[in-house]
Amino acid sequence: MEEGLFVTAVGLLMLAVGGWKLLNWLFLRPKKLETLLREQGFHGNPYSLFSNNNNNNSSSYNMKPMTFSDDKDIAPRVYSTADHAIIKFGKNSFYWEGQTLKVNITNPEHIKQVFTNNSYFKKEKPKLGRVAKLLGSGLPNYEDQQWHTHRKIINPAFHMEKLKLLTSTMVQCCHDVIHKWEEMLSSEGKCDIDVEPFIQNLACDVISRTAFGSSYQEGKRIFELLTKQARLIMRLKYIHIPGWWYSSCILQVASY
């Protein structure tokens, strides 16, 4: 009898804790965040549990195809929700995506604070899977001290004066692509072009010329091998070979 009462009490306690967590996630925490933002001068739609928190007027965004001659702001098409909040509530505004609060920050000084205070404005980055790690990692995937160390190492390479010296090279790469497109034009001055491979080659060409001092054509074999490697690794995403992961780790360590 006592054991039954104990199990019942534990069950009720777990139910109460779960209910409290659910209530906090669905209502209490969003309302608290909203209150704190309003106290700091931000404006937005009030959070509601049973209605569309975005409250967007879809008729205000006419998603007709755009032509190259259209002199229109692209923001409503790329991120209409954020753009709608700024138009309705101003630059210091916020909006909701479900229970997630999104804040618009347009002040350069505030943006600088977010980027420089990485420990305060940090969202846990998604963890790379075992297969993805074989493709390599980098600054976007590092955390805490590792992030600061690698940021300090690469920061000199992105100094404004150094980037200015690369501008002419980047412009030349773009001119080369445009020249190839012009050669593909018909006598009427029209043609259909699949721009994806050209853009990929452009990125590789810019990287090769600025970082390695060689054209894309000279380093084409390297990029082809990297692309092939990535495709082969992605095929292993849904294949599990016992012991394969540990052998890969050993090979990676040995390469260092």
Pairwise CA distance, residues 133 & 140, whole Å: 13
Instruction: Report angle CA 136, 137, 139 to the nearest 5 degrees.
Output: 150
Task: Determine the pLDDT at residue 216.
Answer: 62
Task: Determine the pLDDT at residue 122.
Answer: 62
pTM: 0.48
Task: Determine the pLDDT at residue 175.
Answer: 92
- Average pLDDT across each block of 10 residues of the chain; the chain has 256 residues. List them in order: 67 85 86 90 85 51 57 67 85 85 85 76 66 70 80 83 85 90 83 86 82 68 79 69 56 46
Residue 94 near residue 102, CB atoms below 8 Å: yes
- Among candidate residues 133, 62, 138, 46, the one with its CA nearest the CA of residue 96: 46
Contacts of 82 (CB under 8 A, 6+ apart): 75, 95, 102, 104
